[in-house]
Amino acid sequence: MLRIVKILLVLSVAAWALVAVVGNIVDWGGTTGAVAATTSMSTFDAVPASSRATSNPAVIFLGASFIVLLKLATGLLCLGGAWRMWTARGDDAAIFEKAKSLALTGCGVAMFMLFAGWIVIAETWFELWRSPALLDPALGSAFRYGGFIGVIALFVGMREEQGT
């Protein structure tokens, strides 16, 4: 039963990523708008770091594409991992352990995207922590998603006992 729960958790990460990809593409203006609000540093008063601000369309497009492509990779890796885990659910522990690798890679890609994109680039470089308008919607969400996905990865990555 524990293996089934792990598979369901991986599927939930895949669902999060793929639903988000669809949302990001359907509302491309909102996606690029969020990136533009971050990179322009326009949601808070000028500070010494404001010289880092940019409204360059190429930077905005690359940032939005980074988000969408890494969420897509997360979703596909987690779907593939869940499938491998499902087909190995009745096998011995070593085989099920190997079956987790794609799923754990997908979780890792999501954590990389959330941490590098929102914490390192948005919060640290573009000082998004100063923005009352985006602090919770952007950084709070990224932290919640990353935290949940990290806990899921730890749970899924736990070693299997023989016959589990």
Residue-range domain boundaries for the chain: 2-157
**Measuring CA to CA, which residue among 21, 9, 20, 26 is closest to residue 104?**
9
- pLDDT tens-digit profile of 68-87? 999 999 999 999 999 999 99
Q: How far apart are CA 10 and CA 99, in angstroms?
A: 12
Task: Give this prediction's pTM.
Answer: 0.92
- pLDDT tens-digit profile of 7-31? 999 999 999 999 999 999 999 999 9
- pLDDT recorded at residue 163: 53
Rg (CA), the chain: 18
- pLDDT tens-digit profile of 103-135? 999 999 999 999 999 999 999 999 999 999 988
- pLDDT tens-digit profile of 89-101? 999 999 999 999 9
Two tokens at 81?
A: 């991992």
Q: How far apart are CA 149 and CA 133, in angstroms?
A: 25
